[in-house]
């Protein structure tokens, strides 16, 4: 997705060869026009996938999931990293290790909002080691629903997340695939579509 | 906002005379069409307020802030409840006590994304005791920007949040104002607009 790659080149910052900072438009400040284009792109890529519902993870997955859900005409649910006092009944849970934060979060989702047999699109902002995306697929499958695909805004293709998802048989669509992070240069995997 | 009040009547659940559960459409599962209408309503109410930017709090503020920002043609920023390894520089911070979770969270925002002199609309999903909204106004003012208004999706009008915000001179627009929660009945403050 050219518009996204241009934005990453212009406003993304490679903090190291592993860490890409995109807080200018994706996970702190958010560019709503870009997010709308991202929603349209997910809708286009998954238009034949008969999606019933989108599942994402708080917080940075919410804006892209919101726009994709609006475009596709389906509801979305965001899995929680912490339990709230008003969200305790009938949960499915999974443990997700964050390499960035160096901690394990138990993520959860209410069975009331992911129904057996539904075809679910998992959306997340980043795919690196695949921990968050795999945790989300576990929640969806524990609730008896089916993974119709995984949609990622930015994939760090030099990390193993994509391969882990493909190995499990999931369709993965990443809107930008970062091949390499260098201080003054961010390069992308060239994909012929 | 009639559409929102109808939704609260149909799908909201009063867990007690204090707690309203709206995880079916606002803070776990999200109805994107309702959220778009909420964005349009905020844009309409604040159309003369010369808003430069929207500031909200993760996680449940993100969807309504996203749609309001898209309608108003401005960026939004979501304040963080926890620091990430890639978000540490040049922060403004405030402490926010959550009565629901019975804990204090330090919320933070980067000064890079709230600029001195900007007119900021603060958006949040709920207004109860006002802790979160007041924390957000503190962040914005610490960054040197100005509060142009506070937009709330659901206000519990029997709790003191609204009065605290009004006392400080802020304009408050709540799309649904809950007067009273009873087991089988949710009543609203009638507002003549």
pLDDT tens-digit profile of B20-44? 999 999 999 999 999 999 999 999 9
Average pLDDT score over residue span A136-144: 98
Answer yes or no: do A19 and B87 touch at CB < 8 A.
Answer: no
Helices (H), chain A: 2-11, 32-45, 62-72, 131-142, 161-167
CA–CA gap between residue A162 and residue A173 (Å, rounded): 9
Distance from CA of B115 to the nearest CA of A (A): 12
Scanning every residue of chain B, which has its alpha carbon at the shortest distance from the alpha carbon of A72? Answer: B32
Burial grade of B93 (CB within 10 A; 0-12, 13-18, 19 or more): middle
| A163 phi/psi in degrees, rounded to 5 | -60, -40
**Confidence band (pLDDT; 50, 70, 90) for B183?**
confident
**Confidence band (pLDDT; 50, 70, 90) for A75?**
very high
**Confidence band (pLDDT; 50, 70, 90) for B99?**
confident
In this prediction, residue B87 carries a pLDDT of 55
**Confidence band (pLDDT; 50, 70, 90) for B82?**
confident
Interface test with A, best of B62, B72, B98, B103 (most A CBs within 10 A): B62
Interface test with A, best of B7, B26, B28 (most A CBs within 10 A): B28
Distance from CA of B82 to the nearest CA of A (A): 10
pLDDT top residue among B36 and A183: B36
Who contacts B149 (Cβ-Cβ below 8 Å, separation ≥6)? B46, B49, B51, B121, B122, B170, B171, B172, B173
Q: Tokens 């707690």 appear where?
A: B19
Nearest to B66 among A35, A80, A102 (CB): A35
CA–CA gap between residue B92 and residue B107 (Å, rounded): 8
* A57 strand-pairing partners: A79
Q: At what angle do helices A32-45 and A62-72 cross, to 10 degrees?
A: 50
The answer to whether residue A137 scores a pLDDT higher than 90 is yes
Please state the pTM of the whole predicted model.
0.96
Average pLDDT score over residue span B76-91: 80
CA–CA gap between residue B142 and residue B163 (Å, rounded): 22
In chain B, the percentage of residues whose pLDDT exceeds 90 is: 89
| B119 phi/psi in degrees, rounded to 5 | -100, 115
Who contacts B41 (Cβ-Cβ below 8 Å, separation ≥6)? B1, B4, B175
């Amino acid at each position: 997705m050219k518009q996204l790659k241009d934005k990453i080149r212009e406003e993304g910052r490679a903090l190291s060869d592993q860490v890409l900072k995109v807080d200018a438009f994706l996970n702190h400040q958010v560019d709503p026009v870009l997010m709308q284009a991202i929603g349209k792109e997910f809708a286009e890529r998954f238009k034949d996938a008969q999606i019933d519902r989108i599942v994402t993870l708080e917080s940075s997955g919410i804006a892209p999931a919101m726009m994709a859900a609006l475009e596709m005409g389906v509801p979305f649910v965001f899995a929680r990293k912490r339990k709230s006092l008003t969200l305790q009944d009938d949960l499915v849970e999974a443990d997700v290790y964050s390499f960035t934060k160096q901690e394990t979060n138990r993520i959860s989702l209410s069975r009331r909002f992911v129904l057996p047999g539904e075809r679910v699109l998992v959306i997340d902002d980043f795919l690196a080691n695949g921990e968050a995306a795999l945790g989300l697929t576990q929640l969806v499958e524990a609730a008896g629903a089916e993974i119709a695909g995984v949609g990622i805004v930015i994939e760090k293709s030099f990390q193993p997340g994509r391969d882990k998802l493909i190995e499990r048989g999931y369709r993965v669509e990443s809107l930008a695939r970062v091949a390499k992070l260098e201080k003054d240069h961010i390069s992308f995997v060239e994909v012929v579509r």
